[in-house]
Structure 1
Amino acid sequence: MRSMQGRPTTDELLRLQDVRKVYGRSRNSVAALAGVSLGFQRHTFTAVMGPSGSGKSTFLHCAALLDRPTSGQVFLEGEDLTAMKERALTKLRRNRIGFVFQSFNLLPALNVVDNVTLPLRLAGKRPNRRLVDEVIERTGLTSRRKHRPGELSGGQQQRVAIARALVTRPVLLFGDEPTGALDTETALEILGLLREAVNSGEQTAVIVTHDPVAASHADRVVFLVDGQVSAELQRPTVQQVARQMTQLGAWARKQQAVGAERMV
């Protein structure tokens, strides 16, 4: 529930309130997000899905304030991020938010340990060896500590990316297609790691994905269409997610066809 002022209650870690993101101007403008209001409970795992062009990536970028919304507010632990200056936002993201992307974004010249601890060093912090060892062990990289990315499989590189995201002990973990570049078996291992991070009570995870199997690992799936929330599923199965995506895809194709007819 929300307070009268629209601020999140204490059980919500993250809230987007009436968030809009418009690209372009006047007649050529496109609303990638058209007034999204969503809350995310602490220690939960949410997947965000939708047809191509539905606003999934824009949603993630605005939720993490990697891109500022055109209007609306984003709250993290009750603090309005949209009111913060860029320097303060950078510091907050560095300390409170972790990111895992489809491309692993590892530095090829650094070994596993150095890649994992890079965010701490960039923040001018001395890595806590015990914490680093714990994160590397949790992600199954103990025997690969001195290996460089080129000596690792795709799944192992994504494990390094997850360890790097977890080493700052963020309260919120964002994933942008984190299993998109992996085979099925490896993807399941990565999803298990994300699920474990949430179950441990330390993180809240929000991922964007097109994969019903990945979404089925979440506590909740939110579906976007044309920049708006169209449906939600709680404790979803793969079949439920696939069925919903099929329906949304058919609807989106119908809307595109109608739009094309109007232009003729």
Structure 2
Amino acid sequence: MKRWGKHVHTEVVRLDSVRKTYGDGRAQVVALDDLSIGFGQATFTAVMGPSGSGKSTFLHCAAGLDRPTAGRVVLDGVELTDLDEKARTELRRDRIGFVFQAFNLMPALTVLENVALPLRLAGRAPDEALLREVIRRVGLAERAEHRPAELSGGQQQRVAIARALVSRPAVIFGDEPTGALDTRTALEVLALLREAVDRDGRTAIVVTHDPVAASHADRVVFLADGRIAGELHKPTAQAVADRMTHLGAWAEQATAPVRRVR
């Protein structure tokens, strides 16, 4: 793996002039339009924007799930654009944790087995003491032998977070991780992500539509039409909601048909 050099680089994820298009000719859709941004170590960033703003495409390109049409993505010192599919899969498995709105747990496996799955897929023998410690940290020590069907939605998302943390990733990507949860449970899940950043030095990048979820982040990045449309640092839920309201109005205005005065 290529590294930045002897010194630790503070940006764990970097996108430079990333463009992503789908289709050809007149039917071409530009999902990301020359997007450049970095994410520092031990930071929590929320990514927000109107529907169709490019949030999911951004996450997929940043996490190596999709290749940009142009530009470069560097993750933990490795340029993803240089890697073949096997190397990209290994990098995702070893250096990235994923938490999705759908918990994506294996129904036939226990909590312990679900959390151990990334290590087993990597051919690494799971350390049971480590597994149980991660499960304890997400508040499920008494549920380690239960299967997903025996857990609430919030408990299943805690398992997903434990699974994301167990390989000690450089980055945790979340795609609407609180979208299917009630408010109280969502706050508990966000606190776990916050702890992974503050205590363990992980970098968290979470796509969300929820201003309250975004207010747990260090900064909020707003996307519109595949471009960065602004940032908020140390955000409050009200400030995020206000910005999203203006952004939505701006996006509607930008895409509305031109009215000609007669």
Q: Shared fold (TM-score greater than 0.5)?
A: yes
Unpaired stretches in structure 1, ≥5 consecutive residues? 1-8
Aligned residue for 1:258, secondary structure, equals coil
Preserved contact between residue 18 and residue 36 of structure 2 (Cα < 8 Å): yes
Preserved contact between residue 174 and residue 207 of structure 2 (Cα < 8 Å): yes
Offset, 1:225: 0.3
- The 2-side partners of 1:87 and 1:202 are apart by 27
Q: TM-score, normalised by structure 1?
A: 0.94
Residue in 1 aligned with 2:4? none
Q: Deviations over 1:16-65 (max 9, x none)?
A: 00001000001110000001100001000000000010000000000001
Offset, 1:256: 2.5
Residue in 1 aligned with 2:41? 42
- The 2-side partners of 1:145 and 1:51 are apart by 39
- 2:172 maps to a residue whose letter is L
- The 2-side partners of 1:251 and 1:35 are apart by 20
Preserved contact between residue 102 and residue 178 of structure 1 (Cα < 8 Å): yes
Asked if 1:32 is matched to 2:31, the reply is yes
Residue in 2 aligned with 1:59? 58
Preserved contact between residue 43 and residue 218 of structure 2 (Cα < 8 Å): yes
Preserved contact between residue 169 and residue 202 of structure 1 (Cα < 8 Å): no
Residue in 2 aligned with 1:194? 193
Residue in 2 aligned with 1:142? 141
Q: TM-score, normalised by structure 2?
A: 0.94
Preserved contact between residue 45 and residue 217 of structure 2 (Cα < 8 Å): yes
Residue in 2 aligned with 1:105? 104
Task: Figure out how many residues of one structure are paired with residues of the other and give that number.
Answer: 254
- The 1-side partners of 2:61 and 2:80 are apart by 10
Q: Deviations over 1:195-248 (max 9, x none)?
A: 000001331000000000000000010000000001000000011100000000
Share of identical aligned residues, percent?
66
Offset, 1:77: 2.6
Offset, 1:130: 1.8
Asked if 1:251 is matched to 2:247, the reply is no
Offset, 1:122: 1.1
Preserved contact between residue 134 and residue 165 of structure 2 (Cα < 8 Å): yes
- The 2-side partners of 1:11 and 1:108 are apart by 38
- 1:162 maps to a residue whose letter is I
Moved over 3 A (4+): none
- The 2-side partners of 1:171 and 1:137 are apart by 21
Residue in 2 aligned with 1:5? none
Residue in 1 aligned with 2:3? none
Offset, 1:78: 2.6
RMSD: 1.4
Preserved contact between residue 22 and residue 29 of structure 2 (Cα < 8 Å): yes
Residue in 2 aligned with 1:79? 78
- The 1-side partners of 2:11 and 2:175 are apart by 21
Q: Where does 1:6-21 land on structure 2 (aligned, <5 Å)?
A: 10-21=9-20
- The 2-side partners of 1:217 and 1:202 are apart by 16
